[in-house]
Amino acid sequence: TDYLFPDGFWWGSATSATQIEGGATEGGKGNNIWDHWYQTEENRFFEGVGPEKTSDFYHRYKEDIALMKEIGHNTFRFSISWSRLIPGGRGEVNQEAVAFYNAVINALLDNGIEPFINLYHFDMPYALQEEGGWESRDVVEAYVTYATECFHLFGDRVNVWFTFNEPIVPVEGGYLYDFHYPNIVDAKKAVQVAYQTIIAHVKAVEAFHRLPGQKGKIGIILNLTPSYPRSQHPADLKASRIADLFFNRSFLDPAVLGKYPEELVELLRQYDHLPETLPGDAALIQNNTVDLLGVNYYQPRRVKAKEHEPNKEGPFMPDWFFDPYEMPGRKMNKYRGWEIYEKGIYDIMVNLKDNYGNIASFISENGMGVQNEERFMEDGEIQDDYRIAFIREHLKWLHKAVEEGCNAKGYHLWTFMDNWSWMNAYKNRYGFYSVDLETMERTPKKSAKWFKEVSKRNGF
Ligand code: BGP
């Protein structure tokens, strides 16, 4: 069987500023929360390896973009570092940053690669975090000013924009489960932060659509983790429905449908955890839905009804309503400890078709992190047949979705080259290219060559 995709399908990869740029204190860049956390605080994750250098894209973008062309990319997603462009978060624009992002965009276009720009990938300028980050409505306004500045600076050449990557992750990490700065555990704040991220998002969408002669598209990138119940027992079904409300629909519904799910609102009301809102917010959300949805998919979420009734005297947590469930016999990426469930990609797409107006979407991240990947090196090339199989099996399900009428427009691997990551520095390698951290040399893995053929043929 052939798995061929529609003409114009997007083949490429995704990255983020903090994870690839390096040059963290060069070119007039201000600190973001990651720089700050690394420089000043005890961080149990980084193991002494911070975001200051990463893959050095800041200096090597020309070489890297040539390598993207080499493996057939027609699209590439990167993020703008807010604290590079506007070092204090608000105020003066840093002209060195403007020159850098212009050079990146122009190099992509010169190589026939369409730039996809994401405006925010977990990287709050530190000065604004000091003001309360997304808890502060002033920070929301600063973000909208920053976004509008980007549209003005780069919008003549960039047609595809995203307001946020995985906005739920900073909520979970920074305000619920203690794995992102500012390491607060407080569900009330988590709800406020999630809500205000949506307000920042819809205001940026509004500003974008208002620009005269706007031909581009704007969307949001969400990590959708389909939530599967242990059984069809009503208690398990309820557990999975609530997990879905918290972790998927809290962003998916307002972004695509323009409203929050009633059941989520009711639940938060019942436990006195509704966010503070301003008059006009509901209309803003309703009137500024996205043109395009990026879907990051790595693994499903499996849940079951609570084993033990939680102590509801303690602080409110989403985990009051479900327990994680390890399905016997599930397939694992043993190198990263994540489940592999390829059909999840299809289930997401069918859900978007049936319940979200078949919104234009694409797989904006999917990939396989592997520890100590050098052990698969033979004759100077990493033989990542496991990654080829991983991508191929996901693409088969994506193909089936497209055949059944789902509006999926492309596939981006996480990621272009091995990079630094938030919780584990360089432990998990994901790239088409391996990066030698001493010499910074890039070497294509076997999957890079395979993907080149796939993009050339528009399938396999
Ligand atoms: C996604 C993020 C990426 C990336 C990826 C891999 O959630 O958008 O930034 O890091 O996950 O995860 P990790 O690096 O933790 O293995």
Q: What is the pLDDT of residues 358-393, one digit of tens each?
A: 999 999 999 999 999 999 999 999 999 999 999 999
Interface predicted TM-score of the whole assembly (ipTM), two decimals: 0.97
Q: How far is the CA of 263 from the centre of ligand 1 (A)?
A: 30
Which ligand 1 atom is the nearest neighbour of the CA of 221? 8
Query: Is pLDDT of 41 > 80?
Result: no
CA 338 to ligand 1 centroid distance, Å: 12
Residue 273 has a CB neighbour count (10 Å cut-off) of 14
Quote the mean pLDDT of the chain.
Answer: 97
Nearest to 33 by CA among 222, 173, 237: 173
Q: Which CATH number fits domain 10-457: 3.50.50.60, 3.20.20.70, 3.30.930.10, 3.20.20.80?
A: 3.20.20.80
**From atom 10 of ligand 1, which residue's Cα is the shortest distance away?**
421
CA separation for the pair 298, 460 (Å, rounded): 22
**pLDDT recorded at residue 199:** 99
What is the rounded CA–CA span in Å between residue 50 and residue 423?
A: 10
Average pLDDT of span 331-352: 96
DSSP state of 223: E
Query: Is any atom of ligand 1 closer than 6 Å to the C-beta of 13?
Result: no
Q: Which of 365, 426, 427 to mutate to test the pocket of ligand 1 (most atoms within 8 A of CB)?
A: 365
Give the chain's count of helices (H) and strands (E): 16, 19
Q: Is the pLDDT of residue 43 over 80?
A: no
Domain ranges in the chain? 10-457
CB of residue 165 inside a 6 A radius of ligand 1: yes
- Give tens-digit pLDDT for 431-440: 999 999 999 9
Active site residues: 365
99-140 confidence digits (pLDDT tens)? 999 999 999 999 999 999 999 999 999 999 999 999 999 999
Give the number of the atom of ligand 1 that is nearest the alpha carbon of residue 423.
15
- 246-255 confidence digits (pLDDT tens): 999 999 999 9
Cβ–ligand 1 contact at 16 (below 6 Å): yes
Evaluate: CB of 434 within 6 angstroms of ligand 1. Answer: no
297 lines ligand 1 (CB under 6 A): no
